[in-house]
Amino acid sequence: MAIAIFRTLILYVVIIISLRIMGKRQIGELEPAELVVAVLISDLAAHPLQDIGTPLLYGLIPVLTLLCCEVLMSGFIVKSIKFRKFICGKPSLIIHGGKIIQREMKINRFTLDELSEQLRKKDIYDISTVKFAILETDGSLSTLLYTDQLPLTPKQMNIQVDNAGYPVIIVNEGRVLSDNLNLMGFNDIWLKRQLSQRNVSDVSDVYLMTADESGSIYFLPKDRNA
């Protein structure tokens, strides 16, 4: 039993490291080559776990070999545009001037139902309002509406507004994120003062606290009944 647990932990760590080296992507964003590698890694790692008699190296060596292949291929993809297009494909113009390009739909095996679903996710229900729609290599759809269909911005209405700051998490579930605290130019004294102003004695009672460059603070205490 101990050997099985030990083998599982080793393979788990190796697979996690391998996926981290491959990069941060969601499953839907994986390129075809990356998806193949991910599937193969999971399959190869399963054999030593299912059969204790199989040497652990029989699972580790193929996984590490695939990882090396993926790293090399990623390097080629970065350096060569032609190789990148061959492996990853290229974006396709699906809608131009409010009209669907049927040839591109057929080449990409992209159905009208799929197109309608992607547009609805962007709150677009009338195809004629779309100036351009591009099917990206990861299967997502990028759209550009006609100018008269775009929502008005404060600039277009000659309204002066302050730029919104980016909220940075200072306290996460009772833990102070010191790096973020320093990034915003604050210190522990400032944090204690903020807690005191909200009648909170200990940071462990804070569920979430964020701050942005404009000085705006979002504060949410822990719900003891949750």
Residue with tokens 């998490």: 169
Q: What pLDDT, in 10s, does the model give residues 88-144?
A: 788 999 999 999 999 999 999 999 999 999 999 999 999 999 999 999 988 899 999
| Domain spans, the chain | 2-86, 92-149, 168-221
pTM above the 0.85 mark? Answer: no
Region 15-27: what's the mean pLDDT? 63
DSSP reduced 3-state for 114: helix
Q: What pLDDT, in 10s, does the model give residues 150-167?
A: 888 888 888 887 777 789
pLDDT at 63: 79
Superfamily of domain 168-221: bsu07140 like domains (3.30.240.20)
H helices, E strands: number in the chain = 8, 8
CATH of 92-149 among 3.40.50.880, 3.40.30.10, 3.30.240.20, 3.30.565.40: 3.30.240.20
pLDDT at 20: 67
pLDDT at 29: 60
Which region among 6-10, 204-208, 209-213 has the lowest average model confidence (pLDDT)?
Answer: 6-10
Mean pLDDT value across the chain: 84
**Greatest alpha-carbon span in the chain:** 74
Using alpha carbons only, how large is the chain's radius of gyration in Å? 26
Count CB neighbours of 119 within 10 A. Answer: 19
